[in-house]
């Protein structure tokens, strides 16, 4: 038996995000913190309802080791190609740079700009497909952790499917890939848990500590030395490091973590405070966040960055994009509907096909995590392709299952129909 896990994991994430935002040593006002935390409370409220029908039968078996080895080879080839295309480095070069203390992140940013990769068209498609393939293979294989029939050889090989994703992360000096891995493993871990015990919370705490250490290492490798790392005192001119005077290194780590994850709440807070002005107040209604009405120059997001927030290169929360299209009222209503229906959706995906259902549920969870944080799902072509791939497979399987069920009903009726 496996159990729905999206709702419980999302609530834990929101609580931790809210705490991080409140305690972050940054020069933001108490009003900013109150509005940001208030929004977290609204999100948590949407997912508070407990669900009775939160489980489904587990009929999943392991992928055979031969097929798994083939997929791993494809995955490594795709990762090598994507790394070379986006960074100009080989896997060996990127690892060598890390050992030598060279910042792969700086090299990646420079190469990305010089090669004008961000503006290229159709010629970028093979690299996008390669990145998507790496992710799709990992998500397809990770379901084996909830398999009913265990194959020791396959179980060990499953971990190797994480390695290409780690290599991509290291070669670009980015962290989101590691975040996705941790979310994915967290989801499949809790799938087999009918309830959360103290041991699970301890394990969650250890995983969180491990995550923070990885994050600090990843961000520190972007700088020449530790002193340079500590010198980055402002994410934007409105969000700067302001220590409490307890422990500089720990406080700075918390600040860096907040700049990556909870700064979105600062943006949301500024948006909520701007609702006292008529142009922004109109965005509680659909379409007024667009530029076409002339109220907000460039639309809601651009207007906020021009007039209310120094956005710099920081992610805008995904939820601001949604508000700019359908309005604040409809957005909150949609979130509460999703909060009520999310477990049914999760179980439906798992019942159609456990393997593909787990993959799509992980992507759905990551999208929910992006709402108060940043646009790390829909700005990624590889993520969009992964979502489309698993959604298409599940959709076809759903139609096939419905067709079979209809055929079986017709056959049964034909058997029991009286003969004239």
Q: Is 2 helix (H, G, I), strand (E, B) or coil?
A: strand
pLDDT band at 387 (very low <50, low <70, confident <90, very high): very high
> Over 60: is that where the pLDDT of 143 sits?
yes
> Over 80: is that where the pLDDT of 171 sits?
yes
Least confident of 265-269, 319-323, 332-336, 415-419: 415-419
> Over 90: is that where the pLDDT of 416 sits?
no
Region 381-390: mean pLDDT is 92
Least confident of 142-146, 155-159, 296-300, 308-312: 155-159
Q: Please tell me the predicted confidence (pLDDT) of residue 414.
A: 67
Q: Please tell me the predicted confidence (pLDDT) of residue 120.
A: 61
Region 15-25: mean pLDDT is 94
Q: Please tell me the predicted confidence (pLDDT) of residue 230.
A: 64
pLDDT band at 286 (very low <50, low <70, confident <90, very high): very high
Beta strand spans in 19-91 (E): 55-56
Residue predicted with more confidence, 122 or 264: 264
pLDDT band at 265 (very low <50, low <70, confident <90, very high): very high
> Over 80: is that where the pLDDT of 163 sits?
yes
Per the CB < 8 A criterion, the answer to whether 157 and 72 are in contact is yes
Cα Rg of the chain, angstroms: 23
> Over 60: is that where the pLDDT of 420 sits?
no
Least confident of 144-148, 239-243, 269-273, 280-284: 144-148
- Please state, for a pLDDT cut of 70, what percent of the chain lies above it: 90
Residue predicted with more confidence, 122 or 331: 331
Q: How far is CA 221 from CA 19, 103, 165, 255, in A?
A: 26, 6, 18, 17
Q: Please tell me the predicted confidence (pLDDT) of residue 370.
A: 92
> Over 90: is that where the pLDDT of 402 sits?
no
pTM: 0.91
Going by C-alpha positions, the residue among 59, 66, 69, 60 that lies closest to residue 137 is 69
pLDDT digits (tens, 9 = 90+) for 201-247: 777 777 777 777 777 777 776 666 666 666 667 888 889 888 888 88
Report the DSSP pairing between strands 234-236 and 239-240.
Answer: antiparallel
Q: What is d(CA 351, CA 241) in angstroms, rounded to the nearest whole number?
A: 48
pLDDT digits (tens, 9 = 90+) for 325-337: 999 999 999 999 9
Least confident of 152-161, 250-259, 347-356: 152-161
Fill in the DSSP letter of residue 223.
S
Q: What is d(CA 154, CA 35) in angstroms, rounded to the nearest whole number?
A: 48
Q: Please tell me the predicted confidence (pLDDT) of residue 419.
A: 53
pLDDT digits (tens, 9 = 90+) for 36-89: 999 999 999 999 877 667 788 877 777 887 888 899 999 999 999 999 998 888
Residue predicted with more confidence, 235 or 269: 269
Q: What is d(CA 120, CA 124) in angstroms, rounded to the nearest whole number?
A: 6
What is the average pLDDT value for the chain, to the nearest integer? 85
Q: What is d(CA 353, CA 191) in angstroms, rounded to the nearest whole number?
A: 15
Q: Please tell me the predicted confidence (pLDDT) of residue 30.
A: 93
Q: Please tell me the predicted confidence (pLDDT) of residue 44.
A: 94
Q: What tokens appear for 66 in the block?
A: 């031969």
Q: Please tell me the predicted confidence (pLDDT) of residue 413.
A: 66
């Amino acid at each position: 038996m496996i159990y729905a896990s999206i709702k419980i994991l999302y609530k834990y994430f929101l609580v931790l995000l809210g705490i991080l935002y409140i305690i972050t040593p940054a020069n933001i006002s108490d009003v900013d913190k109150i509005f940001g935390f208030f929004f977290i409370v609204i999100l948590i409220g949407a997912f508070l309802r407990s669900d009775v029908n939160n489980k489904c039968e587990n009929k999943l078996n392991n992928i055979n080791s031969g097929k798994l080895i083939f997929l791993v080879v494809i995955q490594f080839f795709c990762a090598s190609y994507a790394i070379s295309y986006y960074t100009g480095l080989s896997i060996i070069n990127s690892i060598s740079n890390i050992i030598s203390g060279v910042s792969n992140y700086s090299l990646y940013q420079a190469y990305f700009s010089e090669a004008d990769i961000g503006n290229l068209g159709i010629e970028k498609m093979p690299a996008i497909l390669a990145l998507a393939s790496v992710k799709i293979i990992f998500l397809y294989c990770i379901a084996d952790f909830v398999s009913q029939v265990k194959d020791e050889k396959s179980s060990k090989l499953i971990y190797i499917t994480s390695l290409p994703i780690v290599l991509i992360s290291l070669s670009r000096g980015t962290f989101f890939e590691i975040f996705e891995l941790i979310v994915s493993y967290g989801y499949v871990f809790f799938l087999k848990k009918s309830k959360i015990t103290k041991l699970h919370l301890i394990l969650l705490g250890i995983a969180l500590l491990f995550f923070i250490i990885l994050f600090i290492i990843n961000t520190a490798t972007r700088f020449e030395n530790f002193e340079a790392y500590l010198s980055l005192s402002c994410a934007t001119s409105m969000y700067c490091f302001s220590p409490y005077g307890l422990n500089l290194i720990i406080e700075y780590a918390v600040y860096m973590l907040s700049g990556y994850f909870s700064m979105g709440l600062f943006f949301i807070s500024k948006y909520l405070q701007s609702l006292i002005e008529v142009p922004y107040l109109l965005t509680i209604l659909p379409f007024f966040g667009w530029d076409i009405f002339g109220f907000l120059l460039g639309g809601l997001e651009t207007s906020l960055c021009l007039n209310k927030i120094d956005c710099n290169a920081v992610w805008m929360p995904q939820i601001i994009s949604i508000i700019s299209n359908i309005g604040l009222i409809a957005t909150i209503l949609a979130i509460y509907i999703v909060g009520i229906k999310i477990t049914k959706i999760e179980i439906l995906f798992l019942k159609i096909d456990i393997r593909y259902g787990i993959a799509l549920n992980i992507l759905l969870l990551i999208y929910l995590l992006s709402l108060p944080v940043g646009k790390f799902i829909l700005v990624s072509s590889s993520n969009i392709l992964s979502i489309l791939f698993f959604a298409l497979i599940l959709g076809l399987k759903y139609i096939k299952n419905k067709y079979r069920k209809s055929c079986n009903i017709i056959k049964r009726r034909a058997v029991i129909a009286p003969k004239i």
